[in-house]
Amino acid sequence: MGTVIEALPDTKFRVQLEDGREILAYLAGKMRLHYIKVMIGDKVEMELSPDGDKGRITFRHKF
């Protein structure tokens, strides 16, 4: 889980994880398909890549 801190072009985002790391993340296909908007400050769940420096946003929490 992390917090969106910056919105980048092509539905990519910079996300700060709970442990303090910042990673580059992109929207999952289902989120694009259903036009789910992600804004700065949103709490998101994501799947991390094996090397841990990229992620795919899979869920946005309503906080």
pLDDT tier for residue 41 given thresholds of 50, 70 and 90: very high
Inter-CA distances, 50 with 22, 35, 44, 53, 54, Å:
15, 27, 19, 8, 9
Helix (H, G, I), strand (E, B) or coil at 30: helix
Domain that residue 22 falls in: 2-60
Q: How many folded domains does the chain comprise?
A: 1
pTM equals 0.89
Q: What is the pLDDT of residues 13-31, one digit of tens each?
A: 999 999 999 999 999 999 9
Compute the distance between CA of residue 63 and CA of residue 54 in angstroms, rounded to an integer: 24
Output the domain CATH number for residue 32.
2.40.50.140
